Structure 1
Amino acid sequence: MQINPSNYKVLIVDDIMSNVLLLKVLLTNEKFNISVAYNGKQALEQVAAEKPDLILLDVMMPEIDGFEAAKQLKESPQTSDIPIIFLTALNSTADIVKGFQVGGSDFISKPFNKEELLIRVTHQISLIEARRIILSQTEELRKTIMGRDKLYSVIAHDLRSPMGSIKMVLNMLILNLPSDTIGEEMFELLNMANQTTEEVFTLLDNLLKWTKSQIGRLNVVYQDIDVVEVVESVIDIFNMVASIKNINLRMEAPSSVAVSADIDILKTVVRNLISNAIKFSNPGSEVVVRVELNRGRALVHVEDHGCGIDEEDQKKLLHTDTHFSTFGTSNEEGSGLGLLLCYDFARKNGGELWFVSKKDEGSTFSFSIPLKK
């Protein structure tokens, strides 16, 4: 850390003129700005007026000694952060303890050594510089957090709701306006707009939830729910999306499985896994969602028979540092955030998430949930 001594003011307080002059010469040669006081009362007045960065304070002075002056300085919020180095011929344990008790940062024994003095002064100045850097970075971080929270608010209120409305309208249009009614070209444009809107809405929804999770604003509320019922409700939503791509979406599960989980988190994981399965499946294929019991846990598997993931890319999944993403079979674009969110949310629900995949054969993503106790 580079320090410019000319940016710092040192107040020298000593009732002996020769000591003041010697200290002044030594520190002026090092380019420090120097101010002097000859007793405790004058020191208190100058500190209030000049706000020095460091105080070299003699202990043995008439009227107000160094210990008392230091005590008063540390009791004032305006001067409590200014470090104090005591200059003293006192070297008993009791005196040293008292010096630290009243707020001293260091001691220099009289008669002092030039090298020792400069090292101790420079050390305190380094601590001041480090504190300033920390305060500056803290302020920058505060502004960054304010900007992030503003972005969070925009995503939550100003973007997500209207995008959801647009998504619903486009879904209805593409289902009720076949290509032989509006022409192949217009139908393709409508399909492209629908696909893009779905991707943007999913990204906004995932980004909103991921931000909530990362900044600690995600409230996890465990309750007893039927995981089969939850999965069925998500499948009902995606049946329309799957039919547009000519993909059969079906479920294999017992009649009911009671688990203890946060229902919103559970829906988010299921929704993202089914969305990915559809995205990476070939038209005319099938996506199967299976629910089963295994060793006191419910397991949910989402299996597709699409393009799969090669072994090298599998290593990049579920890691925030790689943030891997790729295109779907119909060039659907992804951010890579959905799987990271699923991994995080599965763990928040008390379970784990894992996958198996083979290139050109398909993938199965699975997660576990604790059963109802």
Structure 2
Amino acid sequence: MVTTNPKRILIADDNQSNVILLDRLLRQMGYETTPVYNGQAVIEAIETAEFDLVLLDVMMPDITGFTVLQWIRERYNLDQLPVILISALIEDENIIEGLELGANDYITKPIQVDILQRRVETQIKIKTSVDKHVYVEQQLKETTELQNRLMRIASHDLKNPLANIKLAITLLETDLQDNTILQLASEQTDRMENIIHEFLELELIKHNTMQVNLSPMTYQENLIGVIAAYEAAAAAKGITIQCDLSDEIIYADKNRLEQVLSNLVSNAVKYAALDTTISIWDSQEDDMLTFYVQNIGEAIKPEEMNKLFQPFSKMHTRPTGGEHSSGLGLWIVHQMMEAQHGEVGIDPDFKDGARFWVRLPLYQEELVAC
């Protein structure tokens, strides 16, 4: 990020008197300075701190300024770290050599104060302008990437509700008396609308301005609609869903928590072996309540654990019923949990399938009141 902090200048000269005079002059101009007295010290300073300009004496005893300049240009271009060479060598070939090696400017000794001031100001202005340009380019790139990601996420998470609506309509054609099917279709439509709205807001997470409406609730009340949405898909694979949830109250955002649980249950059904059981339970740990979803199936490789919550990550595991997976679901879960001050993870010790968990704070009325 571009900052308005004082610019930092590294002064390198083996003559202590020159360093003292340059240091005093540059500080009077409003710059922060770091003085060093040999070439090795220049290299060490640049390796440990960031500078906006280097004033580099050519004739230093251990490593010459030309050699140090070569080292700098192997790592930084002229825009990233400008260098002004200062030297008593006034011959044209010396000046040309310095410029060819990558110096931004060349000042001869004895130094004329007004010339030094103008040339330092010029290099600092150029560096500041370049930094701003790079920053704006980076922000535009990140914004474009985020917009593309949001579109992919929205399309991914709309597929499950649409599939459930299609199934509900198919069942309606054979059983018009069952009003619960109509209700399921209505709920899934509402859910699609919520997902679209949420992912339009997701860009705000990047700037820490996303609105999250936290309120007291239980995992169980949020899970009812989720189970109803996926029990048909589970039954088609011979999968049973068993729940053992407490009445403990957590502090969460209802819509975002429902989306989290929906992704976890959807993945559990998608990757579970046929004719197995998905287990869902919660457990209190200090002032947090952890929700678990566990299926039986192919285990995730240890070396892939760190990629689980990254966007578009692809694992060796495959859905057991030929379902589609874009690699976005768990990244969505991670974003939603962060927005609610919660956590998400996987138990690396469970080897018979996958055991995912999300953790949220227990509701404490006195803390909310504060």
What CA distance in whole angstroms lies between the structure 2 residues aligned with 1:139 and 1:175? 53
Q: 1:261 to 1:145 in 2, by over 3 A?
A: same
Over 3 Å counting, the alpha-carbon distance change for 1:355 and 1:307 in structure 2 is same
The answer for the alignment partner of 1:306 in structure 2 is 297
Question: Equivalent of 1:222, from 214, 219, 228?
Answer: 214
Q: Which residue identity is paired with 1:369?
A: L
Aligned positions of 1:309-328 closer than 5 A: 309-318=300-309, 323-326=313-316, 327-328=318-319
Q: CA RMSD in A?
A: 4.2
2:269 counterpart of 1:272: no
Deviation at 1:260, TM superposition (A): 1.4
Which one of the candidate residues 232, 235, 238 is aligned to 1:243?
A: 235
**How far does residue 167 in structure 1 lie from its aligned partner after superposition?**
3.2
Shift of residue 223, structure 1, vs aligned partner: 0.6
Task: Calculate percent identity across the aligned residue pairs.
Answer: 16
User: 1:243, CA displacement in angstroms?
Assistant: 2.4
| Contact 2:212-2:253 within 8 A present in 1 as well | yes
Q: For residues 193-217 of structure 1, give each alpha carbon's deviation from its aligned partner in whole angstroms, at most 9, with x where no partner exists.
A: xxxxxxx99x989966754433435
Q: How many residues align?
A: 238
Change (3 A) 1:136 1:161: same
Measure the CA separation in 1 of the matches of 2:161 and 2:225.
Answer: 20
Q: What is the DSSP-based 3-state SS (H/G/I as helix, E as strand, rest coil) of the residue aligned with 2:342?
A: coil
Residue matched to 2:343: 352
Q: Return the letter of the residue paired with 1:276.
A: N
Structure 1: which amino acid aligns with 2:126?
A: E
Give SS of 2:213's match.
Answer: coil
**Correspondences of 1:98-177 after superposition (within 5 Å):** 113=110, 118-141=115-138, 143-144=140-141, 147=144, 166-172=162-168
Change (3 A) 1:359 1:367: closer
Match of 2:226 in 1: 234
Runs of 5+ consecutive residues of structure 2 not aligned to the other structure = 1-108, 175-191, 365-370
SS of equivalent to 1:334: coil
- For residues 198 and 279 of structure 2, what CA distance do their matches in structure 1 show? 23
Could you give the per-residue CA deviations for residues 34-92 of structure 1, whole angstroms, max 9, x where no partner exists? xxxxxxxxxxxxxxxxxxxxxxxxxxxxxxxxxxxxxxxxxxxxxxxxxxxxxxxxxxx
The match for 2:368 is none
Take 1:311 and 1:145, find their aligned partners in 2: how far apart are those partners?
A: 30
Cα distance change, pair 354–161 in 1 and its aligned pair in 2 (3 A): closer
Change (3 A) 1:171 1:118: farther
Residue of structure 2 equivalent to 1:369: 360
8 Å Cα contact 2:205/2:339 also seen in 1: no
Amino acid corresponding to residue 237 of structure 2 in structure 1: K
- Distance (whole Å) between structure 1 residues aligned to residue 161 and residue 233 of structure 2: 16
Query: In the superposition, relative to structure 1, how do residues 139 and 365 fare at CA in structure 2: closer, same or farther (>3 Å)?
Result: closer
The correspondence of residues 43-62 of structure 1 with structure 2, limited to 5 A, is none
Structure with the greater alpha carbon radius of gyration? 1
The Cα offsets for residues 95-147 of structure 1, whole Å up to 9 and x where unpaired, read as xxxxxxxxxxxxxxxxx955655544332222222233234335545655775
**What pairs with 1:75-94 in structure 2 (closer than 5 Å)?**
none
Deviation at residue 246 of structure 1 after TM alignment? 2.9
* Alpha-carbon distance in structure 2 between the residues aligned to 1:161 and 1:353: 18
The gaps in structure 1 that reach 5 residues or longer are 1-111, 179-199
* Matched residue type, 1:131: T
- When normalised by structure 2's length, the TM-score is 0.52
Shift of residue 365, structure 1, vs aligned partner = 0.8
1:260 matched to which residue of 2? 251
Query: For each residue in 1:287-344, what CA deviation from the matched residue of structure 2 results, as whole angstroms up to 9, or x when unmatched?
Result: 1111233333322110100111122222433457x94545322343433332233234
Structure 2 Cα separation of the partners of residues 173 and 338 of structure 1:
26
- CA gap 1:360/1:330 in 2 versus in 1, 3 angstroms: farther
Q: Secondary structure at the match of 1:345?
A: helix
Q: Which residue of 2 aligns with 1:103?
A: none
CA distance in 2, matches of 1:313, 1:207: 27
Deviates more, 1:159-168 or 1:363-372: 159-168
Q: Deviation of residue 362 (structure 1)?
A: 0.7
* Corresponding letter in the other structure for 2:230: F
User: Contact 1:207–1:337 at 8 Å: present in 2 too?
Assistant: no
Alpha-carbon distance in structure 1 between the residues aligned to 2:158 and 2:307: 34
Which segment is superposed worse, 286-295 or 322-331? 322-331
Alignment partner of 1:240: what SS? helix
The equivalent residue for 1:11 is none
Aligned equivalents of 1:154, 1:312: Cα separation in 2: 29
TM-score (norm 1): 0.51
Q: 2:248 & 2:121 partners in 1: Cα distance?
A: 65
Q: Hey, what's the Cα distance between the residues in 1 that align with 2:350 and 2:173?
A: 36
| Secondary structure, counterpart of 2:300 in structure 1 | coil
Cα distance change of structure 1 residues 175 and 150 upon mapping to structure 2, 3 Å threshold? same
